[in-house]
Amino acid sequence: VLPEVTPAVSGVITLAALAPAMLATALAASKGAKTTATFERSLVHSSLSAFVWGWHVHEKAILGALVPLGLLATQNGAATEARLYLRLSALGLFALFPLFTHPRETPTKALCYLAFMRLAWNLLVKGADGGTAQQIRLTRVDWVFCAALAALFIFAEIAHPLLLAPRGKLEFLPLMLISVTCAAGICLCWLASAISLSREALDLYKKGAPRQ
C-alpha cells in the first residue's frame, strides 16, 4: 500500500521545487541585470512545478505551463525553451486523450494532435536560424517517447476496445499506461527546466549576467 500524501506534504515539495526559479529571479534582480527573460523562464518553471507536485491537479492544468512556454519558445535563440515546448506539448496533450471517451472522437483527436504537433515543429524549427534549429532536433530519448506514445495510442484506441473491453478485462489499463508514461515524461521535462534554471542561477552568481 502506498503512503498517503497529504496537502501539507505536497505544498512543501512544491515550494522546494520552486527554488531554482526563485533563486534565479532573485539573483538577476539583485545584480541589476535584465530580468525579463529570467522571469519568463521562472514563470514557466513555477507553473510546471505546481502541475507536477500539486496535491490535486487536473490534466488540463498543463496549459498553465504550455501557454507562457509557447510565447517564450518563439524568441530568437530560445532552443532550450523550444525543445521543452515540443516535448511538453507532445506529452501534455496526449495525456488529455482519455477525456474523449467516445470511439467516434478518436479520428478527430488524433488528427488535431498530429496537426498541432506538425505546425509547432514547422514554426519553431523551420522558422529558427540554422544553429538554433539544429539544437531543437529530436534526441534518442524523444524518439523513444514518440514510439511509446504511438504504441499506447494503438493499444488504447484500437487493440483494447476490440480485444479486452468486450470481455470486461483490464478496463482501466489504457488509462493507467497513458497516465504513467505521460507523467514520467512530464517529470523529465520539469527536471530539464530545473537544471536549466539552476545553471542560469549559477551563471548569475558567478558572472552577474543572465543568459540571453
Low-confidence ranges of the chain (pLDDT < 50): 209-210
**What is d(CA 54, CA 40) in angstroms, rounded to the nearest whole number?**
20
pLDDT of residue 131: 64
pLDDT of residue 210: 47
Residue 77: Cβ-neighbour burial (10 angstroms; 0-12, 13-18, 19+): middle
Contact between 20 and 45 under an 8 Å Cβ cutoff? The reply is yes
pTM, 2 dp: 0.88
Contact between 85 and 70 under an 8 Å Cβ cutoff? The reply is yes
pLDDT of residue 144: 92
Q: Give the list of residues 6+ apart from residue 112 with CB closer than 8 angstroms, or none.
A: none
